[in-house]
Structure 1
């Protein structure tokens, strides 16, 4: 067994995880009716006769939901079925007024595909089994009802794409990385807003453990994980619990469990059903869904560049490290911001450092998206241009960024704005070699102890001298020139 394989074992057990993710599709209306899907309305104000399953109503397929399923299939390299079937998934629950959920079973619209991502510097790939269209159920409410429960059918009929993986995931960290990549894909192509708090992106993790080489263990499904942090905590607890049960001589029973973030534990909600328990059969009210090839090709022609492809292009075209390219393609807005600045100043690595560092730090502190950054990409490019040509130091550039971020923007084009701020704040870097040499001579004369220590082989003494020169120049000396002149003077 390799070290890498051994690192995936927990107390001698291999962790096996498969994912089912419900992505709410970004349509304005429901999958089989014209009722609104807007979030936050008063209970039962967005449920029409079709959603309520009143007698005589019939479902009508939402074309926009089908198109979003096609987009996803193309994004993950799946086969988009020319013909797929809707089925009735039969079960009783108070928030399911029809007594069944319309879903897809034997022939889903999206078949196969894969999602690739990096875990550290290692590339991982998770195979997809399918992605199928279905309607959401309503919601049971248990608060503010004086000990009673209420039913809100606003969500009933909301269009979902359920994305199912093979059991390819081997750790909680890998599970989170997969979920983040999938989240990035569906939000990048615009088929889902990805809001986990509002239930737009809900993950269920099927977790089991086994000894290496043994058959797959019995799985327990952790339902409705609505944050990446809780996802990792829930899986880690479930893995430990299953191993303890097996080590104590108990068998794992298939079940649906919930994660309690207050206790950090999972708890069983109900025994898990198998597909046969749902008595699937084709829905007689819906004809087969037929997708013509020219429709698929039209959607393909309108697809944006995908994040993984864009990251690979950033590596090839701009010479960025893989880490930088992956980070910069977390959202279309960040990728566009980086690329606009990189093209404007011709310094892609410097731009990458600033976007991932100073710009992201400020945005995070203010909880802003990069699309709302007060400093435009062209202004960042101009600032970096002045760093690259030696006009200002990196520290001085941060002071200019402070001014830009606060809205102190002089008139003119971006480069003129930067130059005006540099001039008004006295931040221009000293590039006069004669003036710098004079400062260095004064520092050396005043710091004979450091000079002697450096000549005795103590490198820290050199750094102290650099600091003294920078202090004497009020931070305006070019650090590279300071090093060069000091070394020349010190022999």
Structure 2
């Protein structure tokens, strides 16, 4: 359902997302793609487009493009070829970009996104392969621009959606889902801060309920998910204000200024014939066999939506818990490993989505860096499930101890360490009675209120006993004893 703006307009949005493929070398030569090198050190005669040089296609880039196409339910085109997109810019040494135009490697496709009414499939138009340009740098020398060609020739896929999103939130969710997907299947790190994923947004408005597309504006080089939302929201508002004032939207290319949160025109929007596309004469057509495609399909991991469905139907998890577990592939792999060690699936999910995720977020770690193996987590869950530890003590005292084991802990189990740290819950009735009496004597007015009918105070009493016992009192047994004592 489209979002209605000011009661009478709806926006229509299509996205073009450029994803840098995680290949070791460039699309048409052996130059390194390693990020962060000194400027103009990862270049060769082919990158510089020196006369007489000829490109050679990187097979791994083709594999990655097919892999992404399969993940997005695209039709893989067995016959596709490259073209020259002709334009002049300082960071494009050849004077053209080698890309795919009329015959891309993947057609169609669907990407699931979250909306206010549930999951909706956004339609894709195609995915094509192309080379990246270099990078113009304007802030090193005053009044001068520099060009770094390290990035020139790096393998990209451009993922082109249909105009099938209707709010900035939907566009944001689409980018987030694609970002997760390319990381999940291992074709890109999708780090927007390093330029591995860049987004252009095509935006138009029309009267609510109309099926015709309005005049579109392209906002280029949106380099963060936050900027994508801000730019689209600003541009929708700008167009509506323009039309409301009696003006007309012009087809143009605009850029987003993150400092001011506004867009500004940079040029009239080009048409395809402005680039004088023609087939690349130095590269033969790509012909993909069905066996090649099926070999890649067989190597694909289970995708996030498939695993989320499995976790709900087979493990009994809530949709929220399942979605949290598949938000990152490493977390899903960790969860799968832990479920091989225990059948307490909900407890595993609660620990990962609770204490362990807190560590990940607070310390900016991956789950593999937390220091708790799936086997150790299963042991902790067993201690809690059998009543030897309560969850609070296990998460706040045992977990940190297991993350930073001392030399004297090598080879010791979670139970050994919990015992050595005196964390094991006691069933000694005399000790429990002592702690209960101390707790009740410290709050006589609350005891009196409880006996007059305020039974909800039982939680306060149990909490006070837990505090006095330093977590060693079994809350269930404590509650039973307090009820017996107070009636």
Q: TM-score scaled to structure 2, two decimals?
A: 0.94
Matched, 1:224 2:218: no
C-alpha separation in 2, matches of 1:456 and 1:121: 48
C-alpha separation in 1, matches of 2:273 and 2:45: 30
C-alpha separation in 1, matches of 2:198 and 2:407: 43
Query: Residues 239-318 of structure 1: matches in 2 within 5 Å?
Result: 239-318=236-315
Does the aligned pair in 2 maintain the 1:134–1:161 contact within 8 Å?
yes
Aligned counterpart, 2:171: 175
Q: Indicate the SS of the match to 2:314.
A: helix
Q: Indicate the SS of the match to 2:121.
A: strand
Matched, 1:371 2:368: yes
C-alpha separation in 1, matches of 2:31 and 2:443: 79
C-alpha separation in 1, matches of 2:161 and 2:485: 66
Does the aligned pair in 1 maintain the 2:113–2:170 contact within 8 Å?
no
C-alpha separation in 2, matches of 1:448 and 1:300: 70
Aligned counterpart, 1:123: 119
Aligned counterpart, 1:347: 344
C-alpha separation in 1, matches of 2:374 and 2:12: 44
Tell me which of 41, 45, 58 is aligned to 1:45: 41
Task: Report how far residue 80 of structure 1 moved.
Answer: 0.5
Matched, 1:404 2:402: yes
Does the aligned pair in 2 maintain the 1:450–1:462 contact within 8 Å?
no
| Structure 2 gaps, min length 5 | none
Aligned counterpart, 1:9: 4
Matched, 1:57 2:53: yes
Q: Indicate the SS of the match to 1:384.
A: helix
Does the aligned pair in 2 maintain the 1:439–1:473 contact within 8 Å?
yes
C-alpha separation in 2, matches of 1:84 and 1:60: 16
Task: Report how far residue 21 of structure 1 moved.
Answer: 0.6
C-alpha separation in 2, matches of 1:466 and 1:244: 61
Query: Residues 102-141 of structure 1: matches in 2 within 5 Å?
Result: 102-119=98-115, 122-141=118-137
Query: Residues 69-108 of structure 1: matches in 2 within 5 Å?
Result: 69-108=65-104
Aligned counterpart, 2:327: 330
Q: Indicate the SS of the match to 2:248.
A: coil
Task: Report how far residue 417 of structure 1 moved.
Answer: 2.2
Aligned counterpart, 2:190: 194
Does the aligned pair in 2 maintain the 1:80–1:111 contact within 8 Å?
yes
Q: Mean alpha-carbon deviation: is it higher for 400-409 or for 310-319? A: 400-409
Task: Report how far residue 365 of structure 1 moved.
Answer: 1.9
Change (3 A) 1:475 1:130: same
Matched, 1:36 2:32: yes
Does the aligned pair in 2 maintain the 1:410–1:417 contact within 8 Å?
no
C-alpha separation in 2, matches of 1:376 and 1:466: 32
Task: Report how far residue 452 of structure 1 moved.
Answer: 3.1
Change (3 A) 1:435 1:19: same
Q: Mean alpha-carbon deviation: is it higher for 307-316 or for 72-81? A: 307-316
Tell me which of 456, 462, 474 is aligned to 2:452: 456
C-alpha separation in 2, matches of 1:446 and 1:224: 64
Task: Report how far residue 10 of structure 1 moved.
Answer: 2.2
C-alpha separation in 2, matches of 1:400 and 1:160: 46
Task: Report how far residue 119 of structure 1 moved.
Answer: 4.2
C-alpha separation in 1, matches of 2:14 and 2:456: 54
Listed one character per residue, the Cα deviations across residues 319-374 of structure 1 (whole Å, up to 9, x for unaligned) are: 11111111111222111112222331322212212212211211222221112222
| Structure 1 gaps, min length 5 | none
Change (3 A) 1:217 1:121: closer
Task: Report how far residue 429 of structure 1 moved.
Answer: 1.2
Task: Report how far residue 108 of structure 1 moved.
Answer: 0.7
Change (3 A) 1:464 1:150: closer
Number of equivalent positions: 484
Query: Residues 382-393 of structure 1: matches in 2 within 5 Å?
Result: 382-393=379-390
Q: Indicate the SS of the match to 1:383.
A: helix
Matched, 1:26 2:34: no
Q: TM-score scaled to structure 1, two decimals?
A: 0.93
Q: Mean alpha-carbon deviation: is it higher for 470-479 or for 272-281? A: 470-479
The alignment yields a C-alpha RMSD, in angstroms, of 2.1
Does the aligned pair in 2 maintain the 1:89–1:102 contact within 8 Å?
yes
C-alpha separation in 2, matches of 1:49 and 1:144: 26
Task: Report how far residue 162 of structure 1 moved.
Answer: 0.4
Task: Report how far residue 283 of structure 1 moved.
Answer: 1.7
